[in-house]
Homo-oligomer: A and B are copies of this chain.
Amino acid sequence: MSNTYGNIFKISTFGESHGKALGVVVDGCPAGIDFDELFIQQELERRKPGQSKITTHRKEADSFQVLSGVFEGKTTGTPIALVIFNEDQRSKDYSHIADKYRPSHADFTYTEKYGIRDYRGGGRSSARETAARVAAGALAKLYLKTLGIDVKAYVSQVGPIKLDKSYKELDLNTIEDNILRCPDQDKAAEMIELIDQTRKKQDTIGGIVTGLAFHVPVGLGEPVFDKLHAELGKAMLSINAVKGFEYGSGFDGVEMYGSEHNDEFYVEDGRVKTKTNFSGGIQGGISNGQDIYFRVAFKPVATIMKDQDSVNESGEAVTVSGKGRHDPCVVSRAVPIVEAMTALVLADMHLRNKSSKI
């Protein structure tokens, strides 16, 4: 297992879906940051289930405790442990799938790899784990705030319904104006309708989250292996249900000619800028001062309410039946997770960049 992310701003998460608690230890957070507990709690609220009719109805309070690393309202440079105790640990709900491998879940692979598996709600493989990332990401955002860096994300596609405007043409202040976190209110209504119908069909549907970072200084990213976009890609792909990542022109850039795709430089107000930004704010793996933008593809979540064929640990054919509540589409809740991971990558890269030159 590797539950640690980051080189300097380093996080270690722990906890299972239905275990006693989830949490994270942040080791390497610089001292002197104003520790805004309210902000961290608000970020957790954005991720938690049961927020609206398009998310799972499972209720989780998700209130966190600070166990260490903060003194008189400031970070001290020592490790910061944040813990969220689970209120709901009813194991009995999961007895019906205890020895069954749910299709496209991690049940089979965890059992094979570890020889044992906490089957309650997916255990460690549950997306519940991302609560710890959001808490740590909120702390990273507080660090980025001291640098003027701004991280945002929004839903840009649900099933086949896509936004036809780029992030530049949208009013990003309206992201939180609907339950989907989509800054195009008309499209959002369509998407919400699709999700609601999908829920009624006891099914799930995928979607895309667009990630953004503004005012990132030039110089973040560590070639050749830890290029900024490579770390962003890894961070996004490490989120449950993510199947793809592209930045700047992405997969569409494949069809362009170099003469179209190259971003010509010019100088404005004494700063070097690019006329276009197919590079997505990253050149040679290093931020170039332009907006960073990328897209993250989420598959339809595997938990559906329909019956499915599968096998159990003994290799016998079984039927897996859905039970309880399910999340018809995760993208609205994925928005704060994408932001959190982006913030963690940028915070770590900002600290790493301090050693680039004498």
Contacts and interface: CB of A to CB of B under 8 A. Distances in A.
A80 interface: yes
Interface string A90-117: 0000000000010111101110111111
A154 interface: no
A185 interface: no
Contacts of A55: none
Q: How often does this chain occur in the complex, in copies?
A: 4
A207 interface: yes
B68 A357 contact: no
A140 interface: no
Interface stretch (A41-49, A173-181, A276-284): A276-284
Given A14-B81, A261-B300, A262-B302, A224 B238 contact: yes
A244 interface: yes
Residue picked from A113, A201, A233, most chain B C-beta under 10 Å: A113
Contacts of A324: none
Nearest to A143: B358
Contacts of A291: none
A109 to B, nearest CB: 4
A83 B308 CA distance: 40
A134 B298 CA distance: 32
Contact of A19 (B16, B68, B203): B68
Contacts of A255: 159-160, 205-206
A256 interface: yes
